[in-house]
Structure 1
């Protein structure tokens, strides 16, 4: 392997404009790195250009780097003032039941 090359791809670590635009409140995502890798979640709040707060069925509310998320086409209408329980119920009802995950 050549020094400085990245097996993941040349854009690893860089955030494209499209990814920034997609990461809006209510977007359903899958975590691809960390303790909860493979779990589904929804974006609750946008903190800055690199970080969001997510919540989900098996994930408690936490701050996540957007590079650790894989956005899905689904969007759930939520507000950041919603409680974690309300978000989990909406998430189960609108996403998990439709996809059987």
Structure 2
């Protein structure tokens, strides 16, 4: 029995989500975690999707969170009230070469 080939999708492939750090205003009258989740939900469309993307909530030295976001989501999130900055997370290695000894 021959099978029909499946139709090819005309949608563009979705962009890969990468980790970004989102800096926000300090929330007034609500817990930081709740504020960050609501901010993310406003872009991702559901609390479930926001919880899946949310990686960490920052609440001591700065207010914000890290989440896996596509470029379109970064653009939308950047326009949300209270969002100060969205930056791509990156890792850096410290150089730990051999100890230098100086004599005088």
Q: State TM-score, norm by structure 1.
A: 0.25
Which has more radius of gyration? 2
Higher-RCO chain (CA-CA 8 Å, sequence separation at least 6): 2
Q: State TM-score, norm by structure 2.
A: 0.24
Higher share of residues assigned strand: 1
